[in-house]
Amino acid sequence: MTTAHLKRWLSAVVAIPLLALVILKGGMPCFALLIGLTAVIGLLEYYALVLPKEAKAEKGVGLVVSVAMVSAFYRADVMAIFGLLSLALLICAVICMTRFRPGASVVGTISRQMMGLMYVPFLLGHVILIRDWDRGIVWTCFLLAVVFAGDTGAYYVGKAMGRHKLSPRISPGKTVEGAVGGLAANLAIGAWCKHYWLPELSWGLCVALVLFMGIVGQVGDLVESMLKRSVVVKDSGRLLPGHGGVLDRIDALLFASPALYYFRTYLL
């Protein structure tokens, strides 16, 4: 086993029990606090990728809005969520006005700021809504199990059998074989969860849901790879040995959690 693989597994051995403890025993406030902390770290990593170091005011506004947005998700206050996004746009525009110079990329600065808020705290906040469902602990565990199984399956099948590039311009390391292996892992874990945790869910809907989550999760992985590729970096951070940064670990979750939330809300 290589050093990178050893670090990857050691990180998982430490992180997974702690995550399970928060989900199963921590209660909703503790879980929301964990999501808030994850959103802040993820947003900082995103800002490090796309915003210049001197954009401290924009970053500060984004972090404050991120925390407030997670709080709004905790209270299930939809109006507050969109109100915060509007407020962030207004403040960022005012900051750009105070620094405006002819030829400055105002649109780029504002769009990167707003994309960060939509990309990290807004998408991640859906996990809090899922946790708040009836049997929310079961659905949260289902979400995490399916997403993390897909990540692991895609990684190891791609390493062992990958021959055909999935999207070489975005992520040269990802392969079609890895993507198929990830979906197979999604289905295997999804079937196990359906049998033991969600017997009321029909097999047809379960397969459709798991495939939807798996495909959307892989899109999320490619989106984060595209961000890193655009600034020529390998990892979003170094917080998690063997995995990179927080964004590297939750990139699929950011897209899969809204997929699960809206699928179950409107189709189940």
The pLDDT score that the predictor gives to residue 191 is 97
Tens-place pLDDT, residues 194-214: 999 999 999 999 999 999 999
User: Is the confidence at residue 12, as pLDDT, over 80?
Assistant: no
Annotate 117-129 with b (16+ C-beta within 10 A) or e (fewer).
Answer: bebbbbbbbbbbb
**pLDDT interval class at 92 (50, 70, 90):** confident
The pLDDT score that the predictor gives to residue 241 is 67
Higher-pLDDT residue of 235, 157:
157
Q: Mean pLDDT across the chain, nearest whole number? A: 90
**pLDDT interval class at 104 (50, 70, 90):** low
% of the chain at pLDDT higher than 70: 94
Higher-pLDDT residue of 57, 41:
41
User: Is the confidence at residue 1, as pLDDT, over 60?
Assistant: no
> Full-prediction pTM beyond 0.85?
yes
**pLDDT interval class at 133 (50, 70, 90):** very high
User: Is the confidence at residue 234, as pLDDT, over 90?
Assistant: no
User: Is the confidence at residue 141, as pLDDT, over 90?
Assistant: yes
